Amino acid sequence: MNNTTIEVACTLFVIAVFATLPARRKRQKKKPETRKTEPLTLRWQTSPSTFQPEPQYWALANTLVFNVRNGCAWDSLRLDASADETRQSLRQSWGISDRATLLEQLHGVFTGGHRQALQPFVGHYAGLPEAAFKQEVERLREDRELPDEERRESLWQMQAARDNRDGVQSVNFLAWDMVRFIMLCQNGLLLDLIDEREARDFILLPSLYLQRDYKSWLDCADQFMRARGFWAGGDPAMIPTQEATREVIELAQRDPHSPWKLLAWEMALPAPQWLFVSALYEMQLLAPLSERERGEANEFELLLDNALQKIHLTDLAR
């Protein structure tokens, strides 16, 4: 491959990445972010003395990075939070206003999320020859069609990937997506966009992948935090909540009643009943893939399609 071909390939990569990253970031980031001023505590809805391990608690032990920071009980599937504030936040940050838009966002986060762009983005800039990297930086600086804030954040991400800032080159961005999937399910339950039976089943899917890809509670939470920091793109408005996330992780490590101490990372988790797939299918948000589409699908899309094929065939047989 000659230098011209390499430059063209790099240019196409940058166009593809920057066509998705800023838009996704702006849609899913609430500005300005603020952290609660009260001291962080690991609140319980139940009690550590009567606690019994259940699959839903395994999932919720991951979203404590959100819920403890927001002053909610870590073990409450239905968040003890303001429904009005949650409704406004979902609308502003995610474009979620009803069951259909919730399911649509859950599907997107599960099958691709931010990791679909961020993972190759980091790999690209980590391995790019120095001359080519400087060319891409200069090209982005001269792009006047990009808003200043998006240009600044994108340049920050390029340099962070290049410098391996906060060890980002070794980050598996799956945690950032799957923990947010569980968080969205909790928010959806609070607003009655899904019911409790659905919420319990939905959160099994990301839990199985988190358990597969990470070694421990700390490993998963640490990679979540580093992924979040990279996604934020050096935005000063995100610093307070990033610091609070770090404090929550430290609290979960040292608290004797932390779920991280009461639940084994390797806890046996049941297979889902595929209520997520059924919900998507019923809302016409998911259809069986063609043979060609299956050949191009990623493992998450194939997983859903395999489950859907069974549901679809059952429907046809009725």
Cα separation values, 257 from 57, 104, 251, 306, 312, Å: 13, 36, 10, 40, 45
Find, among 138, 312, 301, 122, the residue nearest to 229 by Cα: 122
Kindly list the domain boundaries of the chain, sorted by start residue: 3-18+51-286
pLDDT tens-place string over residues 74-83: 999 999 999 9
The residue-averaged pLDDT of 64-74 equals 96
**pTM summary value:** 0.89
At residue 203's C-alpha, the angle toward residues 278 and 43, to 5°, is: 145
pLDDT tens-place string over residues 190-206: 999 999 999 999 999 99
What is the number of other CB atoms lying within 10 angstroms of the CB of residue 296? Answer: 9
At residue 90's C-alpha, the angle toward residues 20 and 86, to 5°, is: 155
The residue-averaged pLDDT of 112-117 equals 98
| Cα-only R_g, the chain | 21
Per-residue model confidence (pLDDT) at position 12: 43
How far apart are alpha carbons 309 and 318 in whole angstroms? Answer: 14
